[in-house]
Amino acid sequence: MAPIYFRGRERVFFLVHLAIFIYEQPDVYHLAETLTVSTRTQVVVDHRLEDYRDPKAAVALLGQAVPAALAVESYGHSVEPENPATEPESWRPAQHHSADQLDYVSPDGSLVSFGQHVVLISASARWSGFLTIEPLRNVHLAAFRSIARCIRGSRLVLLPDAIDEGYDAINEGISLEDCAARLRKRYGPPQRSVGAIPPNAFIETIPGSHLVWFSEAL
């Protein structure tokens, strides 16, 4: 099943209705008061592309990252063989792609969104799995780094989608440095090397409740 993405007004509409549902369910509301649950892994990368608004140019550049994306798809199939591959073996503009939403879908189902100064990668990996499962983390890191090389990025900022700074970087057109500054102010300094997370460092009872972030120079 292909992942579902919410952007802009659709995301606000969804969150408002979710908040109303949680508020009206006492047991759920009590849990939501104490925990922020994140689902997907996100990455913010700086880019130096003048023609990033050109879909053909963007797809051609991202095409260099196809092998790494297919490796992610292959890994996913190896751990969940009952879920056959449904994505094409190439990058393509997302169905909602427009002049205001420069989004592209990878062969592994990740969403890549271009902003004025940065790219936001919304991966298919759950944040809890990315933090705790080394093979999953390694195959996704390789894909993130491959995308960054395609767009001539210099740094990866990795975070859960429960943290809004990734979306803000796209919607407000801010730089990666400004995005990192906001993260530091709200969540403190980044964690140590994302490529060498100690075993059991982020074991949790509620998946996705770790609001931490990482920064990696390329």
27-70 residue pLDDT tens: 443 444 334 455 799 999 999 998 999 999 999 999 999 999 99
Q: What angle do CA 25, 29, 33 make, to 5 degrees?
A: 175
In tens, the pLDDT along 92-125 reads 999 888 888 899 999 988 999 999 999 999 998 9
For residues 19 and 125, membership in a common domain is answered with: no
Q: Are 38 and 67 in contact (CB under 8 A)?
A: no
Strands laid side by side in the 40-46 sheet: 92-93, 102-105, 111-114, 118-126, 40-46, 155-160, 214-217
* pLDDT at residue 160, as a whole number: 93
In tens, the pLDDT along 144-200 reads 999 999 999 999 999 999 899 999 999 999 999 999 999 999 999 999 889 888 877
Residue 2 domain-assigned (yes or no)? no
Are 212 and 183 found together in one domain? yes
CB 169 within 8 A of CB 118: yes
Residue 3 domain flag = no
Residue 1 lies in a domain: no
| pLDDT of 209 | 55
Residue 107: how many other CB atoms lie within 10 Å? 22
Provide DSSP, 87-137.
S-SS-EE-TT--SS-EEEE-TTS-EEEE-SSEEEEEEEEEHHHHHH-HHHH
If asked whether residues 25 and 66 sit together in one domain, one would say: no
Identity at 153, one-letter amino acid code: G
Distance between CA atoms of 172 and 196, rounded to whole angstroms?
32
Phi, psi of 58 (to 5 degrees): -65, -45
Say whether both 194 and 93 belong to one domain: yes
Q: Are residues 29 and 94 in the same domain?
A: no
Expressed as residue numbers, the domain containing 21 is 8-37
Q: In degrees rounded to 5, what are phi and psi of residue 112?
A: -115, 125
* Mean pLDDT along residues 11-28: 53
The pLDDT-based confidence of 202 (bands split at 50, 70, 90) is: confident
Q: Say if residue 2's pLDDT is above 50.
A: no
Q: Mean pLDDT over all residues of the chain?
A: 83
Higher per-residue pLDDT: 13 or 194: 194
How many angstroms separate the CA atoms of 209 and 38, rounded? 6
Q: What is the pTM of this model?
A: 0.80
pLDDT of residue 86: 59
- Counted domains in the chain: 2
